[in-house]
Structure 1
Amino acid sequence: MNRIEEQKLSVLIITFNEERYIKSLIESIDFADEIIIVDSYSTDSTTEILKSFPNIKLIQKQFIDYTSQRNFAIDQAKNDWILFIDADEYFTPKLKAEIISTINSKDAVSAYFIYRVFMFKNRKLRFSGWQSDKIFRLFSKAHCRYTEDRLVHEKLIVNGKTAVLKNKLIHYSFASYSEYKMKMYKYGILKANEKIKKGQKPVRLLQFLHPVYTFLYQYLIRFGFLDGLKGITICYLNAYSIFIRYKEFFRITSSKI
C-alpha cells in the first residue's frame, strides 16, 4: 500500500442517546477530514448537540443490529481510511498524531488494533479482563468489512496485514451500575438472536455453567479481585449478560415449538 499523496480520513460513529460524551468526543477528533454520525433516532439531546457542529454529516437510521449499522456507515464514507469509534471513547493528542502518521506511512497495513483504557465511573479499571482490551478501529475500507453473522461484538474481516498502534483510546464505558446492567442486558438479547440466526440449539446446562465460568474466569484468572468492589461489579455484570443470553435463547426457541 504505497503512499503517494496525503491520505484523507473518515471518522465514523454510531449513536443513540449519547449526550453525556458526544460533545467532547467530536471536539477531540478535529483531525478528521470527514465525520459521519449514524444515529438511531436518539431521544435525548444527542442530535441537537451534533447539529451544532457544521462539519458533521448526520444520518438517522433505524437500529437493527450493530454490524449492519457499522457497515451502513462505512458505505457512506468518501475516503478509504476509516476510523470507527464509539461515542464513549476519547482521543489523546499522542494517539491523534500516531493515527495521522500511520495512514500516511508507506508501510501502512490494512487494519490497526487500538488498545483501550477502560474507565469505570471515570476511574481506570486495571484488570477484570479489560487489561488487554484491544479492538480494530483504524482500517482501509478497500480491505475490510464487518462480518454479517454477528449482531453485537462485531468482527472486522481484514483482507491483508494487521498491526497495533502504540497509544491507547480512553473508553468511558459507563457511569453507573444501572447503565451498565442495561447495556449488558441488551447485549444478551442480541447474542441470543445471533445464536438463533446461526441455527444453534440451546443447551440447558450452559444457562448456568457459562455465566459461572465467565465470572470465575474474569474474577480469578483475569485478576478481577485486584480491582476490589469494581472488579466484582464488572465480572458479575458480564456474567449477567451471558445469563440473559441463554434465558432469551430458551424463551424464543420454546415459543416456536
Structure 2
Amino acid sequence: MDRLSVVISAYNEEERLPACLHSVSFADEIIVIDNESSDRTAAIAKRSKAKVYTRPNNLMLNMSKNFGFSKATGDWILNLDADEQVTPDLETEIKGVLANPPKDIVGFAIPRKNIIFGKWMQHTGWYPDYQLRFFRKGKGKFAEQHVHEQIAVEGRVDCLDHALLHENYQSVHQFLHKLFTIYAQNEAENILRQETGNEEKAGLWSPYTFRWQDAVTASFREFAQRFYVQKGYKDGVHGLMLSILMAFYHFVVYTYVWEKEKFVDENRSVLKDSADFEIQKELRYWKLTADIEEEQNGLKKNYLRLKRRVS
C-alpha cells in the first residue's frame, strides 16, 4: 500500500486546524507549514504529532505549499487548507487509491462542499468546485504566480467522487477582508501582467491602459454568470447576495488597476449612455441564457435562442 503525506499551510488557524488535522489522522505523515502565526496554530499542530515548519507569511501561500511538498516522504501528497476537512467517504476513496494505485494517473481533482455564511452553496459557482489536491510525490507543484492558481501536474489526471468539506467564509467581515484587501490586489497585478506579457514590466504597472468599460462589464458579467448561468437563484438569498458581492469584487479589482494608472480620467460625456447600454446588453444575454436552460417547451426554447441571438 502506498504511503500518504498530507501538507497543510496555515496562518492563525487555531480554531479550524484541529478539525482539519483530525480528519486526516489516517495519513502516514502530516506536514503543517506555519506562516508565522501569532496564535496557537503551531502548538496545536505539534500536539497532533505533525511535522511543523515555519515559513515567512507571504501573500503567495503557494510558495509555502511547494516547500511542504518538497519535505513530504509519502508516495502521494494530499494538499489541504486549514479550513478544509476530509469526510469519511473521501477518506475511504483515498485509501482505495493508495491500496491499488493506478499506473497511468498522477493526480486527482476533488470536489468541494463550500460552506459560506453557514450554508452549503450548491450553485452560484461554488459546487462542485473541483480542486487538484491529490497527486503523486514529485509530479505536482504551484507556479507561484497567482493566489488561486491550481497545481500543475506532469501526466494524466482523474477525478474522485466524494468531496472535501470547506468551511469557507464564516462572516461578511472575513469575506470582505480576504477578497477586497488581499485577493483583489493580486488579481489586479495579474491583469497588468497579462496585458504587458512581461512580468518584469508588470511590476512597473505599464504600459497597461485602464478601460472603464472593463470595470463595468466585468462586474455585471460576474453577477449574470453566477446568478443566472450557475443558478445562484437556487441558493436563495445566499445566492443573490454572494453574486452581488462577487460582482463588486471584480469592480474593486479594476479600481485597483485604475489606481495604479494614476486615476486616469476620460471624456465623461460618453460614460453614462455607454455604461447603461453595456449593462443592459450583458444582463439581457445571461437572463435569456438561464431562461433557455429552464424552458421545457422546445418551440419556446428555440424562440428564446433567437431572441438572445438578436439581443
TM-score, normalised via structure 2 length: 0.74
Query: Deviation at 1:107?
Result: 2.0
Query: What is the aligned counterpart of 2:224 among 211, 216, 219?
Result: 216
Query: What is the aligned counterpart of 2:132 among 130, 136, 158?
Result: 136
**Contact 1:188-1:242 at 8 Å conserved across structures:** yes
Greater CA drift, 218-227 or 58-67 = 58-67
Distance 1:214 1:87 in 2: 28
If asked which structure has higher relative contact order (CA below 8 Å, sep 6+), I would say 1
Distance 1:218 1:232 in 2: 9
Higher strand share: 1
Query: Deviation at 1:192?
Result: 1.6
Distance 2:26 2:128 in 1: 27
Query: Deviation at 1:16?
Result: 1.2
Q: Is 1:231 equivalent to 2:239 in the alignment?
A: yes
Q: 1:36 and 1:253, CA in 2 relative to 1: closer, same or farther beyond 3 A?
A: farther
Higher helix share: 2
Structure 1, unaligned stretches of length 5 or more? 1-5
> Partner residue of 2:116?
120
1:74-102 deviation digits (Å, cap 9, x = unpaired): 11212231100111111111111111211
Query: Deviation at 1:11?
Result: 0.4
1:176-195, aligned counterparts within 5 Å? 176-185=171-180, 186-195=182-191
> Partner residue of 2:40?
45
> Partner residue of 1:30?
25
Q: Is 1:81 equivalent to 2:76 in the alignment?
A: yes
Q: Which amino acid aligns with 1:116?
A: R
Distance 1:252 1:44 in 2: 34
Query: Deviation at 1:110?
Result: 0.5
Distance 2:75 2:192 in 1: 34
SS where residue 231 of structure 1 aligns? helix
Q: Which has the larger radius of gyration?
A: 2
Distance 2:222 2:165 in 1: 25
Q: Which amino acid aligns with 2:15?
A: R
Q: Which amino acid aligns with 1:142?
A: G
> Partner residue of 2:159?
164
Query: What is the aligned counterpart of 2:211 among 186, 191, 203?
Result: 203
Distance 2:55 2:93 in 1: 32
> Partner residue of 1:97?
92
Query: Deviation at 1:134?
Result: 0.7
Q: 1:197 and 1:72, CA in 2 relative to 1: closer, same or farther beyond 3 A?
A: farther
SS where residue 71 of structure 1 aligns? helix
TM-score, normalised via structure 1 length: 0.89
Distance 1:114 1:166 in 2: 7
> Partner residue of 1:3?
none
Distance 2:11 2:252 in 1: 22
Q: CA RMSD in A?
A: 1.9
Q: Which amino acid aligns with 2:43?
A: E
SS where residue 242 of structure 2 aligns? helix
Greater CA drift, 70-79 or 166-175 = 70-79
Q: Which amino acid aligns with 2:54?
A: Q
**Contact 1:184-1:237 at 8 Å conserved across structures:** no
Between the two proteins, what is the percent identity of the paired residues? 27
Q: Is 1:152 equivalent to 2:147 in the alignment?
A: yes
Q: 1:59 and 1:252, CA in 2 relative to 1: closer, same or farther beyond 3 A?
A: farther
Query: Deviation at 1:144?
Result: 1.8
> Partner residue of 1:18?
13
Q: 1:144 and 1:192, CA in 2 relative to 1: closer, same or farther beyond 3 A?
A: same
